[in-house]
Amino acid sequence: MNNINQNLDIKTSLQTTVFITPQMKQSLAILQMPILELEQEISAILEENPVLEVAEDGGDEFNDIEDYDDIDNYESNTQDDEVIEKTSDDDNLNNLVEKVTGDDWDEYIGYEKLDDISYKSNNDENNFDLEQVIGAKESLYEHLMYQLNIVVTDETKWKIGEYIIGNLSEDGYFRVDFSQACEELNVSMELFEEVLSIIKTFTPSGIASSTLQECIITQIKDMKCDDVYVEFASELLRDYSTELAAFKYDDILKGMSIERDTFDYLLSLIKKTDPRPGLNFTGGDTKFVTPDVFIVPNEENFDIIVNDKGIPNIRLNNYYIKMLQGTNLDSEAKSYIKDKVKNAVWVIESLQKRQKAIYKVVKAIADYQGDFLQNGITSLKPLKLKDIAEVTGLHESTVSRVTSGKYAMTKHGLIELKSFFSKSLESESGDMSIGVIKQKIKELIDNEDKETCLSDQRIVEIMEEKGIKIARRTVAKYRDEMNIPTMSQRRRLRR
C-alpha cells in the first residue's frame, strides 16, 4: 500500500454559458418572423395578455387615470404618467422593465436597453404603397441549401450535405444506399451519417427521412409532446400498421394495452404530420409574399423603410400598472399582473428590436450591394453573413434570423434578403459572386451558335480567357441549377 502513489489534481476551468429563457425565445421568434406571421402573432398576444392594448392615438402615452375613477381595487395616485413611470417603488414599472431587460439579454442580442415602453409602427412615416405583392416560389433544394450554408462550415461536410440534398426525392425522402453514397463521395460512413443527421434537423420537419415511419415520428417529436406519446406512436406505426390501415382499432388497443382516448390522441398527432414534406416546394401553386422592407433609391444612396403595416401601435394598459402599484391586491393577483406586465414589456421591446435589427441589417446590405440594387445581378458582390455581422455589431445568428424568410421590395422587384448573400470564385479582377458567374454562363449559352452549341469544357475555356477560374463540374452544376439542358440536349431541342 505504501508503494502506491496517489496523485490528486484539482483543476478549475471558467466557461460562459448562455441560458435562453422563454422570454428570449419569444423575442428571437418575433425577430425571425416575416411580416404576415408577425401580424398573426401580435393578434394572438393581444387576445391573451390584457396588459397590452392597441393605442389608437399612436401609443406615446399611457391611458389617463381618470378612465378608472370607478374602480376600487387600486390605490389612488395623483402623479402624472411621466412621474409614475420614474418612481422608485419596488413594484413600479421601471424596476420591472430593468429586471426583464437586464445585462444577459443585452449581451446576447447586441442592443442597448430601450426606455420607451410602447411600440409605434412607422407606417405613417412614408407614403409607399405597402400592398404590393409578387408571386415567389422557393425550391426544396434552395430552402435546404440555405440552411446548410448557415450550419455547416467544414468543406467536406458541406459537400456531403450538398450530395444528400441533391439526391432527395421529390417528396423529400433520402433513399440512396448509404454504402453507395460513401463510395461516391469517398468518405466514411460515420461522417456521412453525421451530416445526414444534421440535415434531418432542417425544416420542413421530417425531411431526408428514409422511411414513412421515421418521417412521421420526427414530426411528432418536433411537436414537443411528451416522450411517452412519441414511444406509443413509434410502436403503433412499427407494429400495427396493418391493423391501422384496416381500421382494426380494437385489436390495436388490446395489443398496445392503451385506452381509447390515448389512441385517439395518437391518431390526432399522426394526422397533423405531413407524409411528403418535400411536396410543399413543388408544383405550380404560387405563394404570395408581402415585402418586409422597402429599399428606395434617393439622391445619395437608399432609404430603408421597414414594413410595419398591419402591426398596431401598442402600449401597456395603465389600469393594470395602477393596480400593480396599489396595496389592495392579494399576492396571487399581484403575481399574475406582474407576469403579464413582464411579458408585455418583452413583446414591446422585441418589436422595437426587430424593427431596429431589420433596418440595421438591410441598411448595411444596401450600402454594400448598392451596385447590384442599381444595375442588377451582374453587379452582385460576394457577401457573407459574417460581413454584415461585423458592420452592424450584431451576432451572426441574429443576422441570419433577420434575413431568413424576409423580402425586400426594390426597383428590380421583390428580392429575398438571403439572395444578397453569395459565395465567390476567384478571378483576375478579384473575387466574383456565384450569382454573377451563373449569369455569365447563362449569357454564353444564350448567345452560342445554335448549330454547334457550347460544351461545358468550352465554357470553362472561355471563362478562363476572361480571367475566371472554374472547374468543368462546377459549370455543369451551375447549369443544372439554372435548369439549362446539356449541349447535346440543346442541339436536339433546336433541330
* pLDDT tens-digit readout, 281-301: 655 444 556 788 888 888 788
* Same domain for 275 and 148: yes
Q: Edge-to-edge, what's the strand order for the sheet holding 407-410?
A: 302-306, 293-297, 407-410, 413-416
Residue 396 belongs to domain spanning: 37-52+291-378+386-421
User: Is residue 10, in this structure, part of any structural domain at all?
Assistant: no
Of 249, 281, 313, the position where a domain reaches its end is 281
Query: Which DSSP string corresponds to 317-382?
Result: -HHHHHHHHSS---HHHHHHHHHHHHHHHHHHHHHHHHHHHHHHHHHHHHHHTHHHHHH-GGGPPP
* CATH number of the domain enclosing 457: 1.10.10.60
Average pLDDT over residues 184-195: 92
Residue 205 has pLDDT above 60, yes or no: yes
Q: What pLDDT, on the 0 to 100 scale, is given for residue 494? A: 56
Average pLDDT over residues 140-155: 81
* Same domain for 253 and 164: yes
Residues 6+ apart with CB under 8 A from 436: 377, 378, 379, 380, 422
Of 238, 262, 281, the position where a domain reaches its end is 281
Residue 130 has pLDDT above 70, yes or no: no
Residue 137 has pLDDT above 80, yes or no: no
Q: What pLDDT, on the 0 to 100 scale, is given for residue 57? A: 56
Q: What pLDDT, on the 0 to 100 scale, is given for residue 24? A: 76
User: Is residue 435, in this structure, part of any structural domain at all?
Assistant: yes
Tell me the residue ranges of DSSP E strands in 100-236: 118-119, 134-136
Min mean pLDDT across 85-99, 213-227, 435-449 is at 85-99
Banded model confidence at residue 192, pLDDT cuts 50, 70, 90: very high
* Same domain for 374 and 407: yes
* pLDDT tens-digit readout, 235-247: 998 888 888 888 8
Residues 6+ apart with CB under 8 A from 428: 467, 468
**Choice between 105 and 30, residue whose per-residue pLDDT is larger:** 30
User: Is residue 243, in this structure, part of any structural domain at all?
Assistant: yes
Min mean pLDDT across 42-46, 254-258, 483-487 is at 483-487
Q: What pLDDT, on the 0 to 100 scale, is given for residue 67? A: 37
The helix-helix angle for 35-48 and 22-32 (nearest 10°) equals 140
Mean pLDDT of the chain: 75
* Same domain for 414 and 323: yes
User: Which sign, positive or negative, has the C-alpha torsion 426, 428, 432, 437?
Assistant: negative
Q: Which residue has the cell 459574417?
A: 386
Average pLDDT over residues 271-283: 79
User: Is residue 392, in this structure, part of any structural domain at all?
Assistant: yes
Residues 102/240, Cβ–Cβ less than 8 Å: no
- Give the DSSP letter of residue 301: S
Average pLDDT over residues 37-53: 89
**Choice between 55 and 133, residue whose per-residue pLDDT is larger:** 55
* Same domain for 305 and 248: no
* pLDDT tens-digit readout, 100-115: 434 444 443 444 444 4
Residue 145 has pLDDT above 80, yes or no: yes
* Same domain for 305 and 194: no
* Same domain for 408 and 482: no
* Same domain for 458 and 407: no
Residue 16 has pLDDT above 60, yes or no: no
* Same domain for 448 and 324: no
Q: What pLDDT, on the 0 to 100 scale, is given for residue 282? A: 57
Tell me which long-range contacts 239-245 makes (C-beta under 8 A, separation of at least 24): 241/213
* Same domain for 186 and 146: yes
User: Is residue 178, in this structure, part of any structural domain at all?
Assistant: yes
| Burial annotation 36-72 (CB, 10 A radius, 16+ → b, else e) | eebbebbeebbeebebbbebeeebeebbebeebeeee
Banded model confidence at residue 164, pLDDT cuts 50, 70, 90: very high
Distances (CA, A) of 362 to 114, 288, 296, 474: 21, 21, 11, 31
Q: What pLDDT, on the 0 to 100 scale, is given for residue 426? A: 52
Of 281, 309, 327, the position where a domain reaches its end is 281
Residue 8 has pLDDT above 80, yes or no: no
Q: Which residue has the cell 466574383?
A: 432
β-bridge partners, 414: 409
**Choice between 266 and 131, residue whose per-residue pLDDT is larger:** 266
Average pLDDT over residues 45-51: 89
Residue 25 has pLDDT above 70, yes or no: yes
SS3 296: strand
Residue 329 has pLDDT above 80, yes or no: no
Q: pLDDT exceeding 70 applies to what percent of the chain?
A: 73
* Same domain for 318 and 268: no
User: Is residue 253, in this structure, part of any structural domain at all?
Assistant: yes
What is the spatial distance between Cα 408 and Cα 414, in angstroms, rounded to a whole number?
6
User: Is residue 214, in this structure, part of any structural domain at all?
Assistant: yes
What is the spatial distance between Cα 81 and Cα 484, in angstroms, rounded to a whole number?
65
Q: What pLDDT, on the 0 to 100 scale, is given for residue 69? A: 36
* pLDDT tens-digit readout, 364-393: 999 988 888 887 766 777 788 888 999 999
Q: What pLDDT, on the 0 to 100 scale, is given for residue 209? A: 92
Domain count, the chain: 3
* Same domain for 227 and 178: yes
Among 275, 274, 279, CA closest to 139: 279
Among 43, 30, 26, 125, CA closest to 312: 43
What is the spatial distance between Cα 402 and Cα 388, in angstroms, rounded to a whole number?
11
Q: What pLDDT, on the 0 to 100 scale, is given for residue 14? A: 61
What is the spatial distance between Cα 484 and Cα 495, in angstroms, rounded to a whole number?
17
Residue 361 has pLDDT above 90, yes or no: yes
Taking the complete model, does pTM exceed 0.85, yes or no?
no
The helix-helix angle for 472-481 and 456-465 (nearest 10°) equals 110
* pLDDT tens-digit readout, 392-438: 998 888 888 888 888 888 877 778 888 888 665 555 555 566 777 78
User: Is residue 99, in this structure, part of any structural domain at all?
Assistant: no
Strands 407-410 and 293-297: parallel
CB atoms within 10 A of CB 239: 13
